[in-house]
Amino acid sequence: MAKLIDGKVISAAVKAEVAAETEELKKQGITPGLAVIIVGEDPASKVYVANKEKACQQMGFASFKYALPAETTQEELLELVKKLNEDPAVHGILCQLPLPRHLDEESVINTIVPEKDVDAFHPQNVGKIMIGNYDFLPCTPAGVMEMLKYENIDVNGKECVVIGRSNIVGKPMAMLLLHKNGTVTICHSRTKDLAEVCRRADILVAAVGRANFVTADMVKEGAVVIDVGINRLENGKLCGDVNFAEVEPKASYITPVPGGVGPMTIATLMKNTLTAAKKQNNL
Ligand code: NAD
């Protein structure tokens, strides 16, 4: 039976540290501020934004929410970002993705000043991560690394397989595992013999976005299985990319969905916002 890696417990520990440091910072007159922009009515995005606002309150941060109508123009959105870039009360800026189709995500990401890019999506921050000399780490992959650290799972020399190559999860995930000396393989929709490649993994990370995609035959006995996927089933329930019932008996460690990687993503966002506030105040 696998040990469950509890994202709720680990994220609570990270958030407690952030809250304690924030309390100290506030004594110096600095309140970390996070601005979250949401455009349109996507229900999943609304839930994510509400969770981020709630976490800001728990941390003692100032949170600024900008809920813009779906018909917002590119110019209007970029104007808002530029205004927030200049606002000293705002240390982190996040634009919830995906945006409505008429809006260009890349130009929004590129307009956020790198110092306030707490998602670490700006090309300058992505480049810094590649080099290994960074200010912020992308929230979801960094959350996964925090889970591994908390459970004392050593990445050094391990076979790591990441399924998915998105800029948000798969690619930076692979890079962070590489920084910790993992031997990393990235799989994607064109990978041949996916099951065979996955079976090599000591640490298997699934970031595909397809319910129950990872089955027992893809998992080596004793592997650490990290499920990043968040999929909504027809019955309304959330489930990951891993077929939990099948895979859990084979794994040594496994993350559940919900209550696994998801809470870690928000905890890292809080950590990044605190880092941004400190850096912008030369601390
Ligand atoms: P994405 O759609 O951008 O990328 C999916 C990746 O899966 C692609 O790179 C694609 O090549 C790969 N893929 C698709 N079909 C495949 C196949 N048949 N075989 C192998 N690879 C295949 O998605 P994303 O933004 O990287 O997100 C992935 C999942 O993680 C989604 O379910 C998303 O909701 C979830 N997610 C969770 C969190 C969190 O906090 N837990 C954060 C971000 C994303």
pLDDT higher than threshold 90 for residue 282: yes
* Separation of CA 19 and ligand 1 centre (Å): 31
Average pLDDT over residues 18-25: 98
C-alpha to C-alpha distance for 158 and 180, rounded to whole angstroms: 10
What average pLDDT does the chain have?
97
- Active-site residue, from 15, 116, 117, 119: 119
Rounded to the nearest 10°, the torsion over CA 76, 68, 139, 269 is: 100
User: Could you tell me if the CB of 92 is within 6 A of ligand 1?
Assistant: no
pLDDT in tens, 166-219: 999 999 999 999 999 999 999 999 999 999 999 999 999 999 999 999 999 999
* Separation of CA 179 and ligand 1 centre (Å): 22
For the full predicted model, state whether its pTM sits above 0.85: yes
C-alpha to C-alpha distance for 208 and 241, rounded to whole angstroms: 7
For residue 130, the surrounding DSSP H or E stretch is helix 123-131
pLDDT higher than threshold 90 for residue 1: no
User: Could you tell me if the CB of 231 is within 6 A of ligand 1?
Assistant: yes
From atom 8 of ligand 1, which residue's Cα is the shortest distance away?
Answer: 164
119 catalytic residue (yes or no): yes
Instruction: Give me the pLDDT at residue 61, please.
Output: 98
Instruction: Give me the pLDDT at residue 255, please.
Output: 98
* Separation of CA 92 and ligand 1 centre (Å): 25
User: Measured between alpha carbons, how far apart are the two ends of the chain, in Å?
Assistant: 45
* Separation of CA 154 and ligand 1 centre (Å): 25
Instruction: Give me the pLDDT at residue 212, please.
Output: 97
pLDDT in tens, 223-270: 999 999 999 999 989 999 999 999 999 999 999 999 999 999 999 999
From atom 31 of ligand 1, which residue's Cα is the shortest distance away?
Answer: 209
E strands present in 72-111? 92-95
Domains 29-113 and 139-262 share a fold: yes
User: Could you tell me if the CB of 281 is within 6 A of ligand 1?
Assistant: no
**DSSP 3-state assignment of 207?**
coil
Ligand 1, residues 193, 208, 232, 239: which to mutate, most atoms within 8 A of Cβ?
Answer: 208
Q: Of 142, 136, 128, 148, which Cα lies nearest the Cα of 225?
A: 148
User: Using 50, 70 and 90 to split pLDDT, how confident is the model at 143?
Assistant: very high
* Separation of CA 209 and ligand 1 centre (Å): 4
CATH no. of 29-113: 3.40.50.10860
User: Could you tell me if the CB of 19 is within 6 A of ligand 1?
Assistant: no
In angstroms and rounded to an integer, the radius of gyration of the C-alpha atoms of the chain is 19
User: Could you tell me if the CB of 229 is within 6 A of ligand 1?
Assistant: yes
Q: Which atom of ligand 1 is nearest to the CA of 260?
A: 41
Q: Crossing angle for the helix pair 139-150 and 170-179, nearest 10 degrees?
A: 40
pLDDT in tens, 46-74: 999 999 999 999 999 999 999 999 999 99
* Separation of CA 231 and ligand 1 centre (Å): 10
Domain ranges of the chain: 29-113, 139-262
Tokens of 160: 């790591």
C-alpha to C-alpha distance for 44 and 37, rounded to whole angstroms: 14
User: Could you tell me if the CB of 265 is within 6 A of ligand 1?
Assistant: yes
Average pLDDT over residues 150-166: 98
Ligand 1, residues 105, 162, 188: which to mutate, most atoms within 8 A of Cβ?
Answer: 188
| Percent residues over pLDDT 70 in the chain | 100
74 catalytic residue (yes or no): no
pLDDT higher than threshold 90 for residue 24: yes
CATH 1.20.1440.230 holds for 139-262: no
